Each structure stands twice: as C-alpha cells, then as structure tokens.
Chains A and B, each alone.
Chain A
Amino acid sequence: MSFIEINHLQKIYRKATVTVPAVNDISFTIEKGEFLAIVGKSGSGKSTLLNLLGGLDTPTSGEILFDGANLFGEGKDGLVKHRRHRVGMVFQSFQLILGQTALENVELALAFGGISRSERRARALALLEQVGLADRADHYPTELSGGEAQRVAIARALANDPDILLADEPTGNLDTQTGEMILGLLQELNRQGRTVIMITHDPDMAKVAQRTIRMQDGQLQNS
C-alpha cells in the first residue's frame, strides 16, 4: 500500500455546452517522503489535481487514498481535518491575509488547528524562526518582499506539522535567486521527512525533484 494512491481521479467542469475534463482519469501513487514535481502546460490540470490532493476540491469521480483511507469518504469534516492536519499548502501568490502580521497569519492556522492561545505565539515564532524570518514577525504582508512572504506562507503551511506539503508554483512570482532559496527550503523540509508535491513551470526546478510527472489535457504523460 502506497502512502498516497490516486485512482481514476476525474474532475469535469461543465459550463452550458462545454465540458472541461480538467483532471481526466488519472491514476498514480506517491510514496512517503517523496519530492514530486508536477509539470505541464498552462491549463493542463495541475492546479486542479493539487487542489484535489489538498482537499480543497472534490472530484467528479475517482478517489484519493491516504494511508488507504479515501479522502472524500468522510464528507466535509474529513476534508477539514485533512487540510488542517495532514497537508500544508503554498501558493504562487502567497495567499497571506493582508490585515494580519506575519506572526498572526501563522497563528491563525494554529488557532484553526486547535492550539491553545498561550501556546500559539511561541509556536508561530518558532516556525518563523525556522524559515529565517523571526525578525519580520510583526510585519504586515505588504511590508514583506515576495521571498519573505512566501517563507511566511511556508511557515504557516507547517503550522500544524503536516506530513505533506503541496506547493502550487511556489516560485512563480519570485526571481530566480529567491526562487532557489524557496526551493532549498522545500528540499530541506523534504529531507526532514515531509512529502513534497510541487507544481512548477521551470524545468530546472523540476530537476531537484526525485520524480516528475507531466500533465497534458488533464492526463498524465508518460515520461
């Protein structure tokens, strides 16, 4: 039994007359501790797949098994638990809450995770420390550089100590140098035992991954 098993996963968007199979009957497995890169042309369904893995979206058909249990088998509650404890997500555009400081952004994830108020601050600071941003704790997202913002987002993704990190073009909005730094951070987290699944457009970035899957028109391309 693999860590993650994706079986005949399908996500079809229907708009009036057109049906878009964003993810079209995909099956593959991911092992624990893997660093997996997903590449493919724009519109090939990479984000859709990642959102399904993150429990943000539900499939039209098919299933994803985590440790043998179907992610979509327990309804909304199961998805909330999954997002809260099993995965951490990182996005191209950081997705930080603008009205809250770096620290508060991390604290919010801890609050959702049920961490007590007294523990939150210390843990959020430790997480920022881990991404090298302890000194930016009280900065608002608008006061941070792109690289810093993405590191805050990574700290937040790590808040509830998830086994899996899902990153949707985490370096897409960053210059090469900063992108490499973020990639280094993800590699470091992978080395600590976390499974990392990362979408990228950059073939160089994909090279650091142990495995790369290529998507086209919602399907996997053999490579």
Chain B
Amino acid sequence: MTTLDLIRMALRNLWRTRLRSSLTILGVVIGIGALISMVAFGSGMEKNVTDAFTTSGLFSRITVTPVKLDMNRPLESLTDTSGISVALDDDLLDNIKKMSGVSDAFGEIQQPAKVRLGEHETTLTYTGIDPEVGKTKAYQDLLAGTFLTDDSLGQAVISTSLLRRLKIRIDGEDMERAKKKDTANVYTYVKAEDLIGDTLLLSTASFNPMQMMGAMMGNQDANPLSERSSALVIVGVREINHDGPSASKGGDLLIPEGFAAGIPSIGFNSITEFLRKGSGGSDKYATIQVTVASPNDLTPVRKELEDMGLNVFALAEQMKEIRRAFLAVNAVLGVVGFIALIVAGLGIINTLLMSILERTREIGIMKAIGGSEGQIKGVFFGEAAVIGLVGAIGGIILGWLVTLAAGAIINMKIQEMGEAPVDLFYFPWWLILGSIGFAIGLSLIAGLYPAARAARIDPVEALRWS
C-alpha cells in the first residue's frame, strides 16, 4: 500500500459519497476562505501602513516640538520657565545640526491662515520652510513643478488635498469614475502642470496687543486682530492623500521660510505657544525636523534631544507599536477564521465517523484479507487529507474571490469619496502555503480519532452480520 494507493482509494471513497463529501469539503472551503480573507485583510492594512511609512523616508526622521504637556499639571508645565530652557530657534537648529548622527535638520514655521484660489477658499496651517529642504527625501513627492526655489519670494508648493478643499482635482486616469460621480459638478478638473504659475492668495491675521488694550477699555474702533493678504505664486504641486503619514499638519501649503518671516502673523497657533510666549520662551519654529544619518543613530539622537528638554517624536519608534497593534489585529482576525476552521474540522470528524459506521464491514474485510491497522488508518487519513487539500485549494480560491469582490466594492465607495483606490488585501506567500498546510494538518488531526476507531474494529464482529 503506497501513499498513492491510499490517495486513490480516498478519492474513490469520497466520490462514492460525493454529496456528503462535497458538503464536508465546503465546510473546509468556507473555513479556509474566512481565515484567508481575514488574514489577507489584516496583512493588507499592515502593508499599506508600513509601505507608506517606508517610502516616505519618515523612518530616519525625528520631529522636535516645543514642550511636553504634563497632563498632571498642564498649566504649570507650560508656564514653568525653568523647564523650558530651550526655544526652537536658529541657535538650537545650529546646535542640532552639529550633533553627531544628525545628517540634516530644518525648522518649520507654522501659522494658521486662509487661502483663496479662484472662487474658493479654505483655512489651513501653512509651513514656512527653507527651500534647501526640498533637496531632502521628505519632499520628493512633487506631481508637477519644482520645490521652492527662492527664500525671499512669495512662492508656494501646494498639495492635492488642499486643492480638493479648493474644489479642484488633478485630472488623471483614475478620475473618469470620480467625474461621473460628480454629477453636481462640484469640482474643476485640471492638469497639475496648468496650476504652476497661478496665484494663491494667503490671508493672515495679526494680533496687536495695544489694540487689545483699547478694546478692553471700551474703544469701539479698536480691533486687536488685523488681516493682511499676500500673493503667492504656485511653483509646485505635491501629492498628499491624507491617508498616509506624509499628511502631517502644515504640509498642505509650503512657502519659503524667509518670506514667511515677513508675513505678519498672530504669533502663535495654539494655546501652548501662547502660554509659552507669555512665559518668555520664544520659538521661531513650530517644529524642527531632524534627519539622522542611519537608523542606528535614531535612538541616541532622540535621547540627546530629550535630555535637552525638548519634546521629540520619532515615527520609527511608533512603528514598533504599530506593528504590535497589527499583530493583535491579525491575531483577532485569524481567530475568527480559526473558529470557522474548527467547525470545519468537526465536520470532517463527523463525516469520517459516519463513513466508518457505514463501512464497518468493509473494514472487517480489509483486515481479513491482510490489511494492517496502520493501513486501515492510512485509508481514513487519506480521505481526511484529500478533504483538507481540496478544501484548502477551494478555500484559497474562495478567499481570493471574496477579497476581490470586497476590494472592488470598498474601492468603489472610496473612489466615490474622491480618494485613490487602495489594495486592501494582501496575500503573502506564507498565507497561501500556511493555509494549505494548516488545512491538511487540521484534517489529519480531525482524522486521528476516526482512523483509530476504524483500526480498532474487530473483524469478526464486522463480518458476522452482513
């Protein structure tokens, strides 16, 4: 009796009771299909997130922000000047640039403002940035045009997500659908290149403490806030979909740092900064972005910055947490699929036991003509393995079809909302091979008891009544 003999016999026997066999196999197909599509979904989410991080170059980046808010004593932690010896200014930036392990550092000025392009306007936080920064990896996502070229000119690099808020969408292949859905003609569709050279109007508010005093003293004409507009020429368009990590605050509108310094502004864009201003700290920059030379430098540099009393944030370290979170998500999804498989396993046990009951006499015959217990076990293991294998292959196909259908439906919705389609599901090779192995393993385990029972059948009993 070779393995091939056992498999051929198994196929024969399963075919003999094909309705029951196919129902049992269907159970495995559904179980594996559920497991596969669940895990593929988890893996897909994880892959989307990690890929987005990896390609964005944010792994070698540390973001320095002014102060850590101590939630136990929020006010003190903000106003306690002793703790905040370091302000985010050019001196600090120079010091950071000189630190070992730091390959580059740049500051970003961030201010709230209102922008207008054509008929539409929206509010945002713009970022003043050194045009030199355009050479770094962080801002290589231009769709059209160039990065900022001159520190003193009113230039702007805008994002697609800002454009969308201004009711403009970049025309492209994947827009046909969106256009059809956009029956109310809310959006204007333009080529990214055509936006280069257009003028964007930036309105900022500034705060005048003297007028504030006047207003408080009852002067009706006193207005502590005054508004001023600056014209910006669009030099570049960046692709930001607001679903990746590059959609950081302020990234929608980049203007030269030198030009930004000349724009009168409210002086602070959060209550934190306001309080810090009041307590003597004076931050020029909202954030300082530090790029480390190699991933190994990340932890020591981060430590050094922290020791300086700065509030630092490194995505690479968050990534560990994210990975762990996804592991948990995958585990939960896997458990759901696993339960479906357990049910399928019970189905296999049931089918094999029934088949043994029906074939008691046959088993007796096999023993009488020289079949050993091992060979008889083999016959039933063969059937279990075939159920598992066929079920696994069917399950992979089912899982694949399900994810295909679910992906298509979800992407339809995503595109209706004007976002780019994403690959929601991911089938790593280990998932395919793993589920085949798992299904066969499960089937064999399910076959253990029935096979042992078959092997124990007393041939004399089995042959007596027939």
Contact = CB atoms under 8 A, between A and B. Distances in A.
A83 interface: yes
A136 B368 CA distance: 23
Nearest to B371: A112
A95 B4 CA distance: 25
Q: Classify the interface of chain A: helix, strand, loop or mixed.
A: mixed
B13 A56 contact: no
A112 B13 contact: no
B433 interface: no
B1 interface: yes
Given A57-B460, A93-B466, A83 B368 contact: yes
B368 A54 contact: yes
Given A111-B5, A112-B1, A95 B466 contact: yes
B12 A112 contact: no
- Interface centre among A57, A85, A108, by most B CB within 10 Å? A108
Contacts of A96: 365
A53 to B, nearest CB: 12
Interface string A84-103: 11001101010111111000
Contacts of B169: none
Contacts of B368: 54, 56, 83, 89, 95
Contacts of A83: 367-370
Contacts of A111: 1, 5
B370 A91 contact: no
Interface in B5-27: 5, 12-13, 16
A156 B373 contact: no
Q: Classify the interface of chain B: helix, strand, loop or mixed.
A: helix
* Chain B residues touching A, range: 20 to 34
Contacts of A57: 459-460
B2 interface: yes
Contacts of A21: none
Contact of A56 (B4, B459, B466): B459
Contacts of A99: 12-13, 16, 362
Interface string B169-202: 0000000000000000000000000000000000
A14 interface: no
A117 B2 contact: yes
A76 interface: yes
A117 B3 CA distance: 11
Interface residues of A, number: 31
Contacts of A130: none
Nearest to B6: A111
B460 A56 contact: yes
Given A95-B361, A95-B365, A97-B365, A109 B370 contact: yes
B63 interface: no
Contacts of B299: none
Nearest to A104: B12
B93 interface: no
B339 interface: no
B146 to A, nearest CB: 74
Contacts of A91: 463
Interface in A38-95: 51, 54, 56-57, 76-77, 80, 83-85, 88-89, 91, 93, 95
Interface of A: 51, 54, 56-57, 76-77, 80, 83-85, 88-89, 91, 93, 95-100, 108-109, 111-114, 117, 156-157, 159-160
Interface of B: 1-2, 4-5, 12-13, 16, 361-362, 364-373, 375, 459-460, 463, 466
Given A95-B466, A112-B370, 13 more contacts: A51-B460, A54-B368, A56-B367, A83-B368, A83-B369, A84-B369, A91-B463, A95-B361, A96-B365, A99-B362, A112-B375, A114-B1, A156-B369
